[in-house]
Amino acid sequence: MTTIPAICIQFLALVLFVLGLATTLSRRNLFFLLMGVEVMLNAANLSFVGFSRTLPGEASVEGLVIPVFVIALSAAEACVGLAMLILVFHSRESVDADAYSRMKE
């Protein structure tokens, strides 16, 4: 088994999550909002894999199954999110998140 300390993986996942959260919260460009969500999902996946390595036998595979679902769902999220982005971009000609504060127009 690897000699990597399990706690280091969790802290790496936390750092990645914080960077993704900061991207989603502070950037005004709609593309970066979606990218920040992807970074956060990846940090959660890394945390799952890191924790799964601390369990014995069959239980260690369970933590590898959930990231498969997360990857599939983030593909769905990116698909719908980008379709909506194209749609609203054509009506407003801007990628500034604040331009979409009034949806009914």
Partner 1 sequence: MEHLALIYFGIFSFISVSCAAMVLFARHPINGAMALIGLMTSLSGLYAILHAPFLAVLQVLVYAGAIIMLLVFVIMVLNGAKDDHTPYFDPLSLGLLLVPAGILAVLVHAFRKHPLLMNEKAVRGTVDITGQALFNSSTGNVVLFEAVGLALLAALVGAVLLAKRNLDSSKEN
Report residue 96 as tokens.
Answer: 């500034």
Q: Tell me if 24 sits within 8 A of 33, measured CB to CB.
A: yes
Which C-beta is closer to partner 1: that of 5 or that of 103?
5
* Residue 92 touches partner 1, criterion: CB under 8 A: no
Which C-beta is closer to partner 1: that of 28 or that of 102?
28
Contacts with partner 1 in 35-64 (CB under 8 A)? 35-36, 38-39, 42, 45-46, 49-50, 52-58, 60-62, 64
- Classify residue 99 by its DSSP letter: G
Report residue 83 as tokens.
Answer: 């379709």
Q: Which of 1, 102, 103, 105 binds partner 1 (CB under 8 A)?
A: 1
